[in-house]
Amino acid sequence: MNYLKNFDIVFSSLPAGLHFYKYQIDDRFFSEFNYEGLSKGLLNVSLSFEKSNKLLVLDFNIDGYLTLTCDRCLEEFDNKINITAQYVYKLVKEKSIEFYDNENLSDDNCIYIKDTDTVINISNNIYESIILSLPISPKHPNDENGNPLCNKEMLAKLSEYLVENENNIDYWNNLNYINFN
């Protein structure tokens, strides 16, 4: 069985109104996606799903932790997250969906699907929300004194190789004089 089928919602048989779903995301979920920076975590997903005639509004609350690799010391650490995200699906007539090409089946506010569709799979919505919440440069948090909780041995080793800018050279400003043509 395809694991991601667990995230299918058969909305066609649901009455109009609010519906609630709960999911637990673990390492198995992340193994279904091919992203090197993220393979471990434990998250709880609460979904408020509102169905109307032409719209499906999905409000996600995702909380738990992700195991990330620290950019400073290269050691894994658990990063707590709490995400809220909303996705809106708009049901459009099959003939009018041909108006949209494959790249324009969604915009910032809406994902367009055929009004004859009966199922949506929310795994990509969850995964996208998680990926967008990741810090650009993940690092261990600091302790109560403002010191990083990084691996002390690794930080000591890195400081051995740290080159000090003894002459106060402004490397960024020097780039202005380079002719790239």
Q: What is the mean pLDDT of the chain?
A: 85
Instruction: Give dist(CA 24, CA 47) in Å, integer.
Output: 11
Whole-prediction pTM value? 0.80
φ, ψ at 150 (rounded to 5°): -70, 165
Report whether pLDDT(117) > 70: yes
Flag whether 94 is in a domain: yes
Helix (H, G, I), strand (E, B), or coil: what is residue 128? helix
Q: Rg of the chain's alpha carbons, rounded to an integer?
A: 23
Tokens 């990509």 identify what position? 124
Flag whether 174 is in a domain: no
Flag whether 65 is in a domain: yes
* Mean pLDDT across 144-152: 88
Predicted pLDDT of residue 3: 92
Instruction: Give dist(CA 108, CA 89) in Å, integer.
Output: 11
Q: Which amino acid is at 90?
A: K
Flag whether 152 is in a domain: no
Domain that holds residue 124: 3-140
Predicted pLDDT of residue 22: 98
Give the total number of structural domains in the chain.
Answer: 1
34 DSSP assignment = -
Could you tell me if 79 and 66 are in contact, meaning their C-beta atoms sit under 8 angstroms apart?
yes
Predicted pLDDT of residue 158: 80
* Mean pLDDT across 142-146: 89
Flag whether 157 is in a domain: no
* Mean pLDDT across 39-66: 95
